[in-house]
Amino acid sequence: MRALKREESYKTHFLVPVKGDRFVPVSVEQISYFYIDGGSVKAVMQSGETFDFQQTLDELAEQLNPRHFFRANRQYIIAHKAVTGVSLWFGGRMVLQLTPPTTEKVIISKARVPAFRDWF
């Protein structure tokens, strides 16, 4: 019963501020990943569009369903559907290929690899 209630409490949409006093509704299903860029959190949509978010990655990790989103490292929260490839990296780590592509490597630490494999 608790699992069902917890499942219902995860966010399905966000109201994201854009240009002054305007907000845009964003469905969680359309988000490929969240990342930190210059101290601010951004969400990248499947379409490639980017939105700024007010929440921290820690806050977002609490609000998102862990079946669909995974905290890859300190800079990224990724959606399951965004992962297009996984490569082994030095020292037992993994590098993810995401869609839309990222400008930097998304690396999963050796300590997080087992959790990633279980999640995937």
**Domain 2-119: top CATH class:** mainly beta
113 confidence band (pLDDT: 50, 70, 90) = very high
CB under 8 Å, gap of 24 or more: what pairs does 53-58 form? 53/14, 53/16, 54/17
pLDDT tens for each residue of 3-52: 544 556 888 899 888 877 888 899 999 999 999 998 899 999 999 999 99
Alpha-carbon dihedral of residues 118, 108, 110, 85, nearest 10 degrees? 60
Looking at 1-118, which runs of residues are DSSP E strands? 13-18, 22-27, 31-37, 40-45, 50-53, 69-71, 76-79, 83-88, 94-98, 106-108
pLDDT at 76 over 70: yes
Q: Per the structure block, which two tokens stand in for 50?
A: 């980017």
Residue-wise pLDDT tens digits, 83-107? 999 999 899 899 999 999 998 999 9
Using CA atoms, how far residue 120 sits from 7, 54, 66, 67, in Å, is 18, 28, 11, 9
Q: What is the pLDDT of residue 21?
A: 82
Q: Which residues pair with 47 in a beta bridge?
A: none
**What's the pLDDT at 73?**
95
Residue-level pLDDT at 120: 87
Domain segments of the chain as ranges = 2-119
> Higher pLDDT residue, 72 or 9?
72
